[in-house]
Amino acid sequence: MRAVVQRVLRAQVTVDGRVTGAIDHGLCVLVGAGQDDGRPDDDADVALIADKLVNLRIFADDAGKMNRSVLDTGGGVLLISQFTLYGDARKGRRPAFVDALEPVAAERLYDALVGKVRALGVAHVATGVFRADMAVELVNDGPVTILLDSRKRF
């Protein structure tokens, strides 16, 4: 799994003119599943990404150092599915998405990630709508943006 994690002052996702998920301060996370993540009997990728998200120390402590997690701050997490994180634009001008996991399995992993983040104690977890055309609005705080990959490719 891959995730683009952004520390935000606020974020929301809208589908067909209706807000489907919104948070105040916390993390806005774009998440995608790849071909290597689709093992139905193994949610190791979900567990790793969920643990990283809730424990990533990218919020300032009293000394101004990035030393607190979203759990420490009581912030929210907005999780938005985005298969284009597996887009490959190394050749030509149109990205290929052959490394993205097929939608049924990807949705299962996305739902599992949402559940795991909730189970790990995040105060407010919001979501987009899987496979929908979404409008995402956010105010990046810092800006702070971190890339995660469960296979540690970067």
Query: Which residues are part of the catalytic machinery?
Result: 82-84
Beta bridge partners of 80: 30
Peptide bond into 143 cis (omega under 30): yes
For residues 17 and 154, the answer to whether their CB atoms sit within 8 Å is: no
Strand ranges (DSSP E) for the chain? 2-15, 18-23, 26-32, 59-60, 66-68, 76-81, 124-127, 135-149
